[in-house]
Amino acid sequence: MIKIFSKILIFVLAFFLVFIGYFSYFGFTTTKFNTVIKNQVKKQNNELDINLKKVKLHLDLKNFSIRIKTSNPQIIINNSDSIDLVEISSSIAISSYFQNKFALKNLLIKTNENKISSYINFYRLSNNTLKYILLNQLVKRGTAKINIDLNFDDLGQIKNNYNLKGKIINAELQIPDNDIIKALNFNFSIKENDYKLDKILFKFKKINFNSEFLNIKQEDNKFSVKGKLSNKKNKINNDLILLIFKNNFQNIDFTNSNFITNSEFTFDLSKKFKIKNLKISSKLNLDDLILKYESYKIKDFIKNYNNLINFKKSEINFKYADEKFFIDGSSEYYIDKNFKDLIQFKIEKSKNKTKFETFLNLKNLELIVSDIAYKKIKNDEATLQINGFKNNKKIFFNQINYQESDNKIELNDLEINNNKISNIDKINLDFLNIYNFKNQIGLIKNNNNYSLYGKSFDSTHLINNISNSESDNNFFEIFENLNSTIKVNIDEVKLDQNNIVNNLNGILEVRNNKIFDLNLNSNFSSKEKLFISIITQKDNSVVTTFHSDRASPFVKKYKFIKGFEEGNLDFSSLKINNVTKSKLIIDNFKIQEVPVLAKILTLASLQGIADLLTGEGVRFTDFEMVYSKKGSLITIDEIYAIGPAISIMMEGYVEGKKLISLRGTLVPASTINRTISSLPLIGDILIGKKVGEGVFGVSFKIKGPPKDLKTTVNPIKTLTPRFITRTLEKIKKN
């Protein structure tokens, strides 16, 4: 009996060992554990279910567990969504099963290609936070393949050593402002607090981008993000420009622009999706863009400027860190489309301050600075360097340095506030102008005052521009609030091609941008002086006195007078409030051509004098003009000129460049002599007894816009007492 029992026991033991061996090595295929697996899944989350086919079981003696593997199962999410799988494999702890504990030890899942939204719905069952709701709204379409490796504790909770790997395929994301990222593809690997993405491809604004990697690590209450982003050569489109420039791109033409970028970035992302500690390093290559910039100021300096600047082969390096931008780069630029120059630049922008450095090669530009009569010829080497900073209130230029051969223009510490100069420390001009005149002049600040000094300066164009201006010609209006004393000491100042004054010196006091006091002296020669004085009196009235032993440098500035020669000039004025009353006297001069006067003489049939005016010229012994000015309106109380051939008296007004209205009397010298000689006693004394045929002269009117004056002339038989009185005064004086 014992022998039989032993045989049975040995047989059973052998069978058991064979069974265990077969179970361990080959395993069994069954559907009996489907219910167990489904119950375990339900126990994990009652909104989950799983469809299983046959399950293959393997015994794991080492871990005293049963390995389960099933092919092509399906996870059902809340009876409304599903995820198709390639396989599920897991281990069930035998001891936990019999103790009615959670038996799954691990779970390996390989999925087919499923909608991303299905995965999000699956994950929300265990982590239904706001960010996954937002994520579901963010992802509009796309699929993914995922391999999931999960481990469970005895309570059925997923351990932190999970591992997810997979691939996102043709996803579409809707980001803020309704922009869409399309054709998003990448590989990913996710562990606890560690997210890695690589081989990232996507399309944004019709441009293809790629990224080598994107790493995200969760630390405490933030995500640390690090990545690379680049694109191959793509044509810029308006959608991308609108994103970058908003509404400020209308002056930039990107029609033929292609660009390449390579960027690295890091930042921290809070759980409320706020970005902090952003750092970006980027390189941008841009092959062609056109800046459309219409500016009359640029046209004043650059010949043939056609409101376009073409930039080519631009290389830009961009860095952002600690709320600061760093930009440096270079580019070819074309103002004349057939000639290139080079620009290099550096920009550093913090919260309220922008520093800049710029270097421009100007070889292929023709430059003109008319105020100082400077011109640079095309193909002559020239450079311009500018550095400074800008904040919310002002622009500050540490240095502006222009150099062309031996010609130099330098400015230091120039501060501009509200388009006004609020400070400048130094100006140095050292150049040869278009008349081959060497300008060497400088301005330097000492405390709050200035010294204007130099060897030589050509003021010809500067005086012309001031003379042709309609304003009150207050040069100091370019300053914000200038209150300084300026000492002047210049050896030689050129007034025009024929006149130079020497040893210009004196003091100029400026208060609130206006000349308060001025006293300047100079000389043409040892016998010919020039001086000007401006005095502000206690009642704030301003007295101006000007004298020049040569009148021609100042009178010739007026284009309607030609051939002005000789003469000396005295000018005085009194300004009270906004009204200036002035008197101008010019003595002993000759005029060769005055178109309006020639027309009057011709209309008056005084052809002999008219011929003289356009030939040898008409001499005047005295000229006086008394007038007042308020704004752009000049009211002429009297203009009186007398000479051997002709005398003129007139009055009227000039309203800027809009209207001229003058009326007066013109009398040949012979008529004056006859008239004066006919006066009892006085005529005998001044002229001598002469026989005349009666008084004869002309009255005239001139009216109209400056470029379309209408002149009328009427003969007269009797001169006005005023004319006779003024003539007598002049004759007595002479």
CB 334 within 8 A of CB 309: yes
Of 77, 154, 84, 67, the residue nearest 122 (C-alpha)? 77
Which of 590, 639, 636, 638 lies closest to 615 in space, CA to CA?
590
Q: Could you tell me how many residues make up the chain?
A: 734
Question: Does the pLDDT at position 462 exceed 60?
Answer: yes
The b/e string for 511-534 (b: 16+ C-beta within 10 A; e otherwise) is eebbbbebbbebebeeeebbebbb
Residue finishing a domain among 192, 220, 253 = 192
Q: Measure the CA–CA gap between 722 and 730, rounded to whole angstroms.
A: 12
How far is residue 298's CA from residue 292's CA, in Å, rounded to a whole number?
A: 12
Q: How far is CA 550 from CA 524, 641, 696, in A?
A: 8, 18, 35
Decide: 92 and 100 in contact? Cβ < 8 Å.
no
The answer on pLDDT for 719 being more than 60 is no
Domain range enclosing 658: 595-733
Q: In the chain, what percentage of residues exceed pLDDT 70?
A: 76
Integer Cα distance of 54 and 36 in angstroms = 13
Amino acid 382: pLDDT = 94
Tell me: pLDDT of 304 over 90: no
Tokens of 172: 């579409």
716 pLDDT higher than 90? no
Residue with structure tokens 């579901």?
A: 136
β 579-591/28-30 pair status: unpaired
pLDDT-derived band at 692, boundaries 50, 70, 90: very low
Q: Show Cβ contacts of residue 49 under 8 Å, excluding neighbours closer than 6 positions.
A: 38, 41, 42, 75, 76, 79
**pLDDT on residue 523:** 94
DSSP 730: H
Strands (DSSP E) along 39-94, which ranges?
48-51, 55-60, 65-71, 74-77, 81-93
pLDDT-based confidence at residue 415 (cuts at 50, 70, 90): very high
Structure confidence at residue 109 as a pLDDT band (50, 70, 90): confident
Residue 431 clears pLDDT 70, i.e. is over it: yes
Above 60 in pLDDT, residue 695?
A: no
Question: Residues of 611-631 as b/e, b for ≥16 C-beta within 10 angstroms?
Answer: ebbbeebbbbbbbbbbbbbee
End position of a domain, from candidates 162, 192, 222: 192
- pLDDT at residue 68 in the model: 78
DSSP secondary structure letter of residue 160:
T
Kindly give, in sequence order, each residue whose CB lies less than 8 Å from that of residue 105, ignoring residues fewer than 6 positions away: 63, 65, 90, 91, 92, 93, 151, 152
Neighbours of 61 (CB within 10 A): 10
pLDDT in the model for residue 574: 93
Residue 82: the pLDDT is: 87
* pLDDT tens-digit series, residues 543-590: 999 999 988 888 766 655 565 678 889 999 999 988 999 999 888 877
Q: Compute the distance between CA of residue 490 and CA of residue 505 in angstroms, rounded to an integer.
A: 6
> What backbone phi and psi angles, to 5 degrees, belong to 240?
-70, -40
Residue 375 lies in a domain: no
Task: Tell me whether strands 579-591 and 500-511 are parallel, antiparallel or unpaired.
Answer: unpaired
Domain for residue 280, yes or no?
Answer: no
Maximum mean pLDDT: which of 13-22, 56-65, 118-127, 671-680: 118-127
Find the range with the poorest average confidence among 151-155, 171-175, 308-312, 604-608.
604-608
561 within 8 A of 543, measured Cβ to Cβ = no
Could you please report the per-residue DSSP string of 496-533? SSS-EEEEEEEEEEEETTEEEEEEEEEESSSS-EEEEE
pLDDT confidence tier of residue 721, bands split at 50, 70 and 90:
low
Is the Cβ–Cβ distance between 312 and 340 less than 8 Å? yes
Q: In which region does residue 669 sit, left (phi positive, over 0), alpha (psi from -120 to 50) or beta (all else)?
A: alpha
* C-alpha distances in Å from residue 69, one per residue of 20, 37, 149, 152: 18, 11, 14, 17
Tell me which residue has tokens 């699956």: 122
HSE value, Cβ hemisphere, 13 Å, CA-based, for 76: 11
> For tokens 């038996």, what's the residue?
103
Domain for residue 532, yes or no?
no
498 assigned to some structural domain: no
Domain edge (last residue) among 173, 192, 211: 192
DSSP letters, 259-274, are: EEEEEEEEEEEETT--
Q: How much is the pLDDT for 98?
A: 60
**Quick one: pLDDT at residue 588?**
84
The structure tokens listed for 485 are 């004393």
Residue 114 maps to a domain: yes
One-letter amino acid for residue 628 of the chain: S
| Numbers of helices and strands, H then E, in the chain | 14, 43
- Asked if pLDDT for residue 670 goes beyond 70, the answer is no
Instruction: Please tell me the distance from the alpha carbon of residue 153 to that of residue 163, in angstroms, as a whole number.
Output: 16
* Residue 613 is assigned to a structural domain of this protein: yes
Buried b (16+ CB within 10 A) or exposed e, 291-313: eeeeeeeeeebbeebeeebbbbe
What is the rounded average pLDDT for all residues in the chain? 79
**Cα 129 from Cα 714, distance rounded (Å):** 101
At 593, the pLDDT band (50, 70, 90 cuts) reads low
Instruction: With beta carbons less than 8 A apart as the criterion, state whether 329 and 313 touch.
Output: no
- CB-CB contact of 91 with 105 (8 Å): yes
CB atoms within 10 A of CB 51: 15
Of the pLDDT bands very low, low, confident and very high (cuts 50, 70, 90), residue 101 is low
The string of pLDDT tens digits covering residues 324-378 is 889 999 999 888 777 889 999 999 988 888 999 999 999 998 888 877 888 999 8
Residue 150 contacts residue 102 (beta carbons within 8 Å) = no
Residue 455 above 90 pLDDT? Answer: yes
- Count Cβ atoms within 10 A of the Cβ of residue 641 and give its class: 0-12 exposed, 13-18 middle, 19 or more buried: buried
In sequence order, the 6+-apart residues with CB closer than 8 A to the CB of 661 are 652, 653, 654, 702, 703
Distance CA(37)–CA(101), nearest Å, equals 13
* CA atoms within 13 A of residue 235's CA, in its CB half-sphere: 6
Mean pLDDT, residues 674-698 taken together:
44
The first and second tokens of residue 583, run together, are 């008197």
- How far is it, in rounded angstroms, from Cα 373 to Cα 460? 8
Residue 698 near residue 604, CB atoms below 8 Å? yes
Judge whether 14 lies within some domain.
Answer: no
pLDDT of residue 361: 94
Mean pLDDT computed over 131-135: 65
Q: What angle do CA 329, 333, 335 make, to 5 degrees?
A: 155
- Does pTM surpass 0.75? no
**What is the pLDDT at residue 104?**
66
pLDDT, tens digit (0-9, with 9 covering 90-100), for 379-394: 899 999 999 998 888 8
Q: What is the average pLDDT across 642-648?
A: 79
Give the mean model confidence (pLDDT) for residues 199-208. Answer: 84
Task: Look at residue 679 and tell me whether its pLDDT is greater than 70.
Answer: no
Count of CA atoms in the C-beta half-sphere (13 A) of 479: 16
pLDDT tier at 520, thresholds 50, 70, 90: very high
pLDDT of residue 401: 96
The total number of structural domains that make up the chain: 2
What residues does 342 pair with on adjacent strands? 332
- Cα(73)–Cα(51) distance, integer angstroms: 6
For tokens 């939204």, what's the residue? 117
**Domain-embedded: residue 16:** no
- Confidence band (pLDDT; 50, 70, 90) for 131? low
Residue 302 DSSP one-character state: B
